[in-house]
């Protein structure tokens, strides 16, 4: 085990190769990535423009083309081109790499499977399989769309169903890329096979199922259905939802009676991690405009036609925490707009239960018990304008349910539902605000609610709200200054590893934790550049710190050495002072210590004080 190895060290290399990331940095200028978002003008050795993150009149956004980094003084954001896309497009690190590769026609490369540090199941062959499935879905999607727009009686009947029975516009069908699957059970299979798709890939795609009578051809899962494509965050088709058409009958189809048939989970499509229409909604999102969370694709499309362009729907049978975390990336409120029946109310309760502890501002608009968003907005398009102003807060939502179902126990029911949710909130400010509103709504003194909450939190399963949380990353800390120096001069790392014991570092905050990860990777693999953060699993706080260190002003070689030696002196001094404090504490509690132990502690104390007096003269790195 290496000196710095701990549970935070990532031993498995990510899928995208370091050489691919470096090739992007060599071939792509950050100015080209930033250009669509703000106009840049020369300003000395920099390019300058209005911040793409805030509204401002005086430009405070700078791009350093030589270092391929940006710094935004109005928002505090900084980093490389990948970080810019993470912040602006709300992408993950790997998604930002894929985005740039696709935008600038750079081949996406993966780690060599001969590397014994690659974890099983994440090899380049798995990535190739994912790419193959994406191509299959793109081709199937193209065929479905072509059939929807064909000039034949059946296609005209499908278009008529869309317009005159479902009352959607044909322009909307184009926008949402609606398709129609052939009624012939094996036509899609035969077409894809002729175009070179392997039998194994077609089985894994989820587009087909095995027929009851074994034969060479697989049967289309979506035969004779209206096709609604499901996209990932980058707009790539990863799954389909097929709606039954009442004028098409196929007794041999085992799913004939199902109104909807959806793609099964595949390497591309994990239902609990996918949100329908998020790729469009995130682009349509405006400041303070909420996401409208509805139950299904048709509700989303109806909302879109009525002007609610940020409508989205969770995939799967129920809302998941992972789906809400996807939405939370955009720092946007959520308005629940589910069906008005009991199932819709249950979905609303789940939204509150999962969303409030994530600190997402949540409201809920209650429809009549016989309505769903599709039918309600079809009959009253003007309703779209009333949803936000008339949406209920969480407390009002639970109060409305209690008044309807348990009118004699409103207070008890609201408290029963809300207090356990509030107990899961880690933010003291959010807990206070919720309790304050709850007190005003129910007429219960806040001190009584706080006492109830403390009692609830005292249970073994409740999370202690007073537990310390990670502090905001700060490059000005001693550990942060080491990171900054190593980013600019990684060649000093071997000497630093020799001179810096682990117990000198404070690993109770993200800065120290990130430094331990960096030093561990250096010691294990001798990484020569810190600009590639794909080799670490970083928390959001660590990503922010990493970006600040990367964008910090450059130091001269002498300044780097001076900084490292000064910081090592301070770390050493801090460690010795902590040691003295511990010794003094033990000596003050020396009632149960024998004379030998006391003398040993006193000797250790003298040694610490002598060492402390010499720290200022130490030169650790030359």
Helix H, strand E, coil C: the string for 94-148 is: HHHHHHHHHHCCCCCCECCCCCCCCCCCCCHHHHHHHHHHHHHHHHHHHHHHHHH
| Max mean pLDDT range (50-54, 306-310, 490-494, 537-541) | 306-310
Q: How far apart are CA 260 and CA 194, in angstroms?
A: 29
pLDDT value at residue 194: 94
Question: pLDDT digits over 144-170, tens only?
Answer: 999 999 999 999 999 999 999 999 999
Residues 6+ apart with CB under 8 A from 83: 77, 96, 543, 547, 550
pLDDT value at residue 484: 79
Q: Is 471 helix (H, G, I), strand (E, B) or coil?
A: coil
Closest CA to 583 of 609, 614, 555: 609
pLDDT value at residue 10: 33
Question: pLDDT digits over 79-104, tens only?
Answer: 899 999 988 887 888 888 888 888 88
Residue 5 reports pLDDT greater than 80: no
Query: How much is the average pLDDT of 134-141?
Result: 94
Residue 117 reports pLDDT greater than 60: no
Query: How much is the average pLDDT of 504-523?
Result: 79
Residues 6+ apart with CB under 8 A from 376: 367, 368, 383
pLDDT value at residue 137: 95
pLDDT value at residue 503: 80
Question: pLDDT digits over 445-463, tens only?
Answer: 988 988 888 888 775 544 4
Q: Please state the φ and ψ torsions of residue 444, each to the nearest 5 degrees.
A: -105, 130
Q: How far apart are CA 150 and CA 148, in angstroms?
A: 6
Which runs of consecutive H residues, i.e. helices, occur in 292-372?
Answer: 297-305, 321-328, 342-355
Question: pLDDT digits over 523-580, tens only?
Answer: 666 655 566 666 666 777 777 777 777 777 666 666 677 778 888 888 888 888 888 8
End-to-end CA distance of the chain: 28
Q: How far apart are CA 35 and CA 29, in angstroms?
A: 10
Q: How far apart are CA 539 and CA 542, in angstroms?
A: 5
Task: For strands 78-80 and 69-72, give the pairing.
Answer: antiparallel
Question: pLDDT digits over 600-609, tens only?
Answer: 888 888 888 8
pLDDT value at residue 125: 58
Query: How much is the average pLDDT of 117-131?
Result: 54
Average pLDDT value for the chain: 83
Question: pLDDT digits over 62-72, tens only?
Answer: 998 888 889 88
- The b-or-e profile of 488-506 (16+ CB within 10 A means b, else e) is bbbebbeebeebbeeebbb
Q: What's the order of all strands across the beta sheet hosting 334-336?
A: 275-276, 311-314, 291-293, 334-336, 362-364
The tokens for 382 are 């003007």
Integer angstrom CA distances of residue 234 from 32, 91, 99, 205, 268: 19, 9, 7, 19, 13
Closest CA to 28 of 87, 99, 120, 127: 99
Closest CA to 248 of 161, 151, 374: 161
Task: For strands 46-49 and 41-43, give the pairing.
Answer: antiparallel
Element (H, E) at 403: helix 394-405
Question: pLDDT digits over 166-215, tens only?
Answer: 999 999 999 999 999 999 999 999 999 999 999 889 988 999 988 766 66
Residue 466 reports pLDDT greater than 60: no
pLDDT value at residue 558: 65
Element (H, E) at 229: strand 226-231
Element (H, E) at 239: strand 237-243
pLDDT value at residue 114: 45
Query: How much is the average pLDDT of 480-499?
Result: 79
Residues 6+ apart with CB under 8 A from 577: 612
pLDDT value at residue 551: 73
Question: pLDDT digits over 233-278, tens only?
Answer: 888 999 999 999 999 988 777 778 888 999 988 888 888 889 999 9
Q: How far apart are CA 355 and CA 352, in angstroms?
A: 5
Question: pLDDT digits over 399-443, tens only?
Answer: 998 888 888 888 888 898 899 999 888 888 888 999 999 999 888
Q: How far apart are CA 261 and CA 226, in angstroms?
A: 10
The tokens for 20 are 């691919």
pLDDT value at residue 317: 76
pLDDT value at residue 13: 35
Count of other CB atoms within 10 angstroms of residue 277: 24
DSSP 43: E
Closest CA to 484 of 548, 527, 569: 548
Question: pLDDT digits over 371-393, tens only?
Answer: 999 999 999 999 999 999 999 99
Measured in whole angstroms, the distance separating CA 572 from the mean position of its chain's CA atoms is 38
The tokens for 614 are 């010499």
User: How many residues are recorded in the chain?
Assistant: 622
Q: What is the CA radius of gyration of the chain?
A: 30
Q: How far apart are CA 171 and CA 164, in angstroms?
A: 14
Closest CA to 313 of 335, 293, 284: 293
The tokens for 247 are 């004028």
Q: Is 50 helix (H, G, I), strand (E, B) or coil?
A: coil
DSSP 506-550: --SSHHHHHHHHHHHHHHHH----SS-GGGS---HHHHHHHHHHH
Asked if residues 233 and 278 have their Cβ atoms less than 8 Å apart, the reply is yes
* More confident call, 491 vs 107: 107
**pTM of this structure:** 0.64
DSSP 273: G
Residue 29 reports pLDDT greater than 60: yes
Closest CA to 482 of 504, 460, 464, 459: 504
Q: How far apart are CA 181 and CA 203, in angstroms?
A: 18
* Percent above pLDDT 70 for the chain: 86
* More confident call, 348 vs 559: 348
């Amino acid at each position: 085990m290496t000196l710095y190895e701990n549970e935070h060290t990532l031993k498995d290399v990510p899928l995208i190769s370091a050489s691919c990331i470096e090739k992007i940095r060599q071939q792509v200028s950050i100015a080209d990535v930033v250009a669509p978002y703000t106009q840049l003008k020369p300003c000395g050795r920099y390019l300058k423009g209005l911040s793409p993150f805030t509204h401002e009149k005086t430009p405070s956004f700078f791009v350093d083309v030589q270092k391929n980094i940006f710094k935004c003084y109005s928002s505090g954001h900084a980093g490389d081109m990948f970080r810019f896309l993470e912040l602006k497009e709300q992408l993950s690190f790997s998604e930002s790499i894929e985005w740039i590769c696709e935008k600038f026609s750079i081949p996406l490369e993966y780690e060599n499977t001969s590397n014994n540090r690659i974890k099983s199941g994440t090899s380049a062959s798995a990535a190739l399989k994912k790419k193959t499935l994406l191509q299959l879905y793109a081709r199937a999607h193209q065929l479905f769309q072509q059939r929807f727009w064909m000039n034949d009686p059946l296609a005209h009947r499908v278009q008529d169903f869309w317009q005159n029975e479902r009352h959607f516009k044909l322009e909307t069908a184009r926008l949402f890329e609606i398709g129609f699957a052939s009624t012939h059970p094996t036509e899609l299979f035969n077409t894809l096979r002729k175009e070179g798709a392997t039998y194994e890939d077609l089985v894994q795609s989820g587009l087909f199922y095995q027929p009851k009578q074994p034969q060479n051809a697989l049967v289309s899962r979506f035969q004779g259905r209206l096709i609604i494509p499901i996209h990932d965050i980058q707009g790539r088709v990863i799954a389909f939802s097929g709606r039954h058409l009442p004028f098409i009958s196929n007794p041999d189809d085992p799913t004939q009676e199902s109104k909807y048939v959806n793609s099964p989970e595949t390497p591309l499509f994990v239902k609990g991690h996918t949100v329908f229409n998020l790729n469009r909604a995130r682009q349509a999102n405006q400041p303070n405009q909420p996401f409208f969370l509805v139950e299904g694709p048709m509700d989303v499309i109806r909302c879109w036609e009525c002007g609610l362009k940020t409508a989205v729907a969770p995939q799967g049978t129920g809302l998941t925490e992972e789906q809400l975390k996807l939405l939370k990336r955009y720092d946007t409120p959520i308005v629940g707009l589910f069906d008005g029946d009991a199932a819709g109310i249950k979905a609303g309760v789940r939204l509150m239960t999962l969303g409030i502890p994530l600190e997402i501002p949540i409201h809920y608009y209650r429809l009549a018990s016989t309505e769903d968003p599709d039918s309600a907005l079809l009959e009253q398009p003007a309703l779209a304008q009333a949803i936000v102003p008339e949406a209920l807060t969480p407390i009002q939502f639970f109060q409305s349910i209690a008044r309807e179902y348990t009118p004699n126990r409103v207070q008890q029911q609201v408290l029963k539902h809300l207090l356990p949710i509030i107990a899961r909130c880690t933010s003291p400010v959010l807990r206070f605000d919720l309790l304050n509103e709850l007190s005003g709504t129910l007429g219960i003194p806040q001190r009584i609610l706080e006492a109830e909450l403390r009692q609830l939190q005292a249970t073994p399963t409740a999370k202690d709200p007073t537990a310390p949380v990670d502090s905001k990353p700060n490059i000005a800390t001693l550990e942060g200054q080491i990171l900054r120096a190593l980013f600019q001069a990684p060649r000093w790392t071997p000497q630093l590893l020799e001179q810096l014991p682990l117990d000198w570092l404070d690993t109770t905050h993200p800065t120290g934790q990130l430094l331990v990860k960096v030093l561990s990777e250096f010691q294990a693999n001798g990484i020569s550049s810190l600009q590639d953060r794909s080799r670490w699993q970083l928390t959001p706080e660590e990503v922010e710190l990493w970006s600040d260190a990367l964008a910090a002003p450059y130091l001269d070689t002498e300044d780097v050495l001076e900084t490292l030696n000064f910081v090592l002196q301070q770390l050493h001094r801090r460690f010795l002072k902590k040691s003295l404090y511990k010794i003094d504490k033990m000596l003050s509690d020396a009632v149960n210590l024998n004379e030998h132990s006391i003398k040993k502690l006193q000797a250790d104390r003298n040694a610490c004080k002598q060492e402390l007096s010499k720290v200022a003269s130490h030169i650790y790195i030359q």
